[in-house]
Amino acid sequence: MDDPVLLTGAGGRVGRAILAGIGEAYDWRLLDREPLAAERLPAGVTTEDVVVADVTDEEAVRRAVDGVGAVVHLAGDPRPNAPWDSVLANNIDGTRTVLAAAVDAGVDRFVFASSNHAVGAYETEDRTPDMYRKDDEFRLNGSELPRPSNLYGVSKATGETLGRYYHDHHDLSVACVRIGNLTKGHPPREYERGQAMWLSHRDCAHLFDRCLAADYEYEIVYGISDNDRKYYSIERAREALGYDPQDNSAAYTFGGEPKEEAEPDSA
Amino acid sequence: MDDPVLLTGAGGRVGRAILAGIGEAYDWRLLDREPLAAERLPAGVTTEDVVVADVTDEEAVRRAVDGVGAVVHLAGDPRPNAPWDSVLANNIDGTRTVLAAAVDAGVDRFVFASSNHAVGAYETEDRTPDMYRKDDEFRLNGSELPRPSNLYGVSKATGETLGRYYHDHHDLSVACVRIGNLTKGHPPREYERGQAMWLSHRDCAHLFDRCLAADYEYEIVYGISDNDRKYYSIERAREALGYDPQDNSAAYTFGGEPKEEAEPDSA
C-alpha cells in the first residue's frame, strides 16, 4: 500500500499493539481524540501525521481520510458496559461517519475492529464452561448472526452491518475483525474464557497487516491466536486473509513462565 | 393474551393492515406520532386508548408500555431512502427505547417490523431477475447475515440485533418479521420482484396474530404470502409460529381480475 493508512483510535490498546508490530510497514496517519505522546509514535510518524479529533466530528473525519488508501477503524467507546447513548454516538454514528467519509474520498479498503462482544451470548449456560476447553468442538465461524453480550456488542454488530452496506454499494473492501482477548506478554491466568479467545500482540499486528495486504471483498473473521482452547474458528482468517498466527495460549498456561503481567483488554 | 397489546406506528400501512384484520381480537393500546382518526379505530378502541407520541420520547414510551403484555413495534421512519440521521434517531434509537421500556415494564413479548431491505443486497446482478421467478431455487431463510439495501435496511437489521440482545438478557420473546411488499387488494403488476415478496393484507394480519399467540424464543421470519415466485422461505414462519398464508401472487398475476388498485408499501 503506497497511500497512507488512517488508523483511528490509534492511542487505544489495539492501536498500540498494531503500531508496535507494523508501525514501520506503512505510511500512517493517526487519529485519536487525545493527543498521542511523541515518544509512542512509530519511526517516521511525526506529530504532523496525528489528527486529534472525535470520530463524530464529520468535518475533521473528512479531512483525515483525504488522500488515504485504507482506513483501520478502531475508534469508539471500548467499554463493554458503556451506556447506550455513548455507543450510539461514538460507535454506531461514529463508524457510519468514517465509512461515509471513506467512500466519498475514494478509499479502497476499510478494516473494522469488531469484538467478541458481538457474539458473547452464544456462551450460554448449557455450553459453558465446556466450550472454553480444548476438546470441545463448538465453533463460531463468522457466518452466524450476532448475539451481543451487551449494548457495546450491539454497536459492534451494527458496525459490521454498516460495513456490509458500504461494501455492497460502493467499491470498498471491508474486513471486520471480532477481536478476542488482547493481552500483552502472556494470556490471562485462571481465566479459561480469556485463554480460549486470547490474541497476542504479535498475532494482532500480523492479522491487521493481512487485512491491509490481502485481496478480499467483505469478511468477518475472528481475531484470536492459534489457541488449543478455542470456540472461534480462525479458518476463514487463514483462507481469506492469509492469517498465520504464531501464538497459542496453551504454551503459557501449561508451559513457559510469564515474563510480565497481562494487560487485559476487552476490545 | 389478556393484557393489552401496544401497537406502535398504528397509523401506518402495516398497522392499518393489522387492525383491519385482527383489530377485534386483542385489547389494543395504539401509539402514533400523529392523532388517529376515530373512524379508523377498531371496535372497542376509543381515543383514550391512543397515545400520540414519538418513540424517541422515552417518558411517553414508558407510560405507553405500562401494563401491556406485548408490544408490536412498527413505528419508525418507513422510507427506504430515509437519511441516516432519521433512521439513527427514529429506527435505531427509537427501537432501543421501546425495547428497554418494555423489559423494564415486564412485557413478555415483542414483535418487531423488520424489512426486506435488511437483506436487499442479496439481490445481486448475477441472481436477478432469475431469483424473482418461479423455478429459481434461491432462498433466504432468516439465518443469513444482513445485507441491507440502504441505511433504512441497516436500521432494521440493527433492530433485529437489539431484539436479540434483549431476548438473551431478559425474559422477552422476540419475533422479527422481515416484511415483504405489502399491498392492499392485489399484488403489484409488471413488477416481478414485488410479486415474489408480496404480502397480502389478510396474510399480514394473520402473521402478526401468530406472532402474538405462538410460543417462541427469538425468531427472524419472512413476511410474504405463499407466492409461487419467492426467494424468501416461509418455512420458519410456518414451523415456529404456525403461519398459514392464504394468498399467492400467482393467482392474481395469471388469473383473477384485480378489484382495486394496489397500494404499494415498502415497509
A156 is in an annotated binding site: yes
Question: Which chain B residues are Cβ-neighbours of A153 within 8 angstroms?
Answer: 165
Positions of A annotated as catalytic residues are: 152
Q: Cα–Cα distance between A65 and A104 in angstroms, integer?
A: 9
Taking only the tens place, the pLDDT of each residue in A222-263 is 999 999 999 999 999 999 999 999 999 999 854 444 444 455
Q: Kindly state the cell numbers that stand for B131.
A: 431469483
B92, A165: Cβ pair inside 8 Å?
no
Give Cβ neighbours of residue A261 (< 8 Å, ≥ 6 apart).
A185
Q: Are B244 and B225 in contact (CB under 8 A)?
A: no
Nearest CA to B263 among B212, B201, B172? Answer: B201
Q: Which helix (H) or strand (E) holds A204?
A: helix A201-213
B125 three-class SS: coil
Q: Cα–Cα distance between A72 and A191 in angstroms, integer?
A: 30
A146, B164: Cβ pair inside 8 Å?
yes
Instruction: Give B97-111 as a DSSP string.
Output: HHHHHHHHTT--EEE
Q: Cα–Cα distance between B158 and B152 in angstroms, integer?
A: 10
Nearest CA to A234 among A250, A252, A220, A214? Answer: A220
Length of chain B: 267
Which ranges in chain B belong to alpha helices (H)?
13-22, 58-65, 84-86, 94-104, 151-169, 192-196, 201-213, 235-236, 249-253
Please give the mean pLDDT across all residues of chain B. 94
Q: Are A31 and A10 in contact (CB under 8 A)?
A: yes
Q: Are B76 and B95 in contact (CB under 8 A)?
A: yes
Q: Cα–Cα distance between A20 and A259 in angstroms, integer?
A: 18
Supply the pLDDT for residue A246. Answer: 98
Other Cβ atoms within 10 Å of B237 Cβ, number: 28
Q: Are B76 and B87 in contact (CB under 8 A)?
A: yes
Q: Are A12 and A202 in contact (CB under 8 A)?
A: no
A148, B164: Cβ pair inside 8 Å?
yes
A223 three-class SS: strand
DSSP letter at A146 equals: P
Write the residue in B96, B154, B169 that is nearest to A161 by C-beta: B154
Supply the pLDDT for residue A2. Answer: 83
Nearest CA in chain A to B164: A147
What angle separates helix A13-22 from helix A201-213, to the nearest 10 degrees? 70
Instruction: Give A24-50 as a DSSP string.
Output: TTS-EEEEESSPPPGGGSPTT--GGGE
Q: Are B119 and B153 in contact (CB under 8 A)?
A: yes
pLDDT in tens, chain A (267 residues): 789 999 999 999 999 999 999 999 999 999 999 999 888 898 889 989 999 999 999 999 999 999 999 999 999 999 999 999 999 999 999 999 999 999 999 999 999 999 999 999 999 999 999 999 999 999 999 999 999 999 999 999 999 999 999 999 998 999 999 999 999 999 998 899 999 999 999 999 999 999 999 999 999 999 999 999 999 999 999 999 999 999 999 998 544 444 444 555 544
Enumerate the β-bridge partners of residue B52: B32
Q: B173-179 and B181-183: which strand pairing? A: unpaired
Domains contained in chain A, CATH given? 5-253 (3.40.50.720)
Q: Give yes or no for a cis peptide into B146 (omega within 30° of 0).
A: no
A179 three-class SS: strand
Taking only the tens place, the pLDDT of each residue in B107-120 is 999 999 999 999 99
B147 three-class SS: coil
Best mutation target among A158, A167, A178 (most B Cβ atoms within 10 Å) is: A158
Nearest CA to A145 among A169, A123, A118? Answer: A118
pLDDT at residue B231 above 50? yes
Taking only the tens place, the pLDDT of each residue in B165-221 is 999 999 899 999 999 999 999 999 889 999 999 999 999 999 999 999 999 999 999
Question: Which chain A residues are Cβ-neighbours of B121 within 8 angstroms?
Answer: 164-165, 168-169
B265 confidence band (pLDDT: 50, 70, 90) = low
Q: Kindly state the cell numbers that stand for B205.
A: 394480519
B161, A169: Cβ pair inside 8 Å?
no
Q: Kindly state the cell numbers that stand for A156.
A: 459492534
**B interface with A, Cβ–Cβ below 8 Å:** 84, 88, 92-93, 96, 100, 121, 143, 145-148, 150-151, 153-154, 157-158, 161-162, 164-165, 168-169, 220
Write the residue in A147, A153, A158 that is nearest to B158 by C-beta: A158
Supply the pLDDT for residue B95. Answer: 98
Q: Cα–Cα distance between A116 and A197 in angstroms, integer?
A: 8
For residue B37, the distance in angstroms to the closest alpha carbon of chain A comes to: 35
Q: Cα–Cα distance between A62 and B28 in angstroms, integer?
A: 48
**HSE on the CB side for B161, CA within 13 Å?**
35
A93 three-class SS: helix
Give Cβ neighbours of residue B53 (< 8 Å, ≥ 6 apart).
B31, B33, B60, B61, B64
Supply the pLDDT for residue B1. Answer: 72
A148, B165: Cβ pair inside 8 Å?
yes
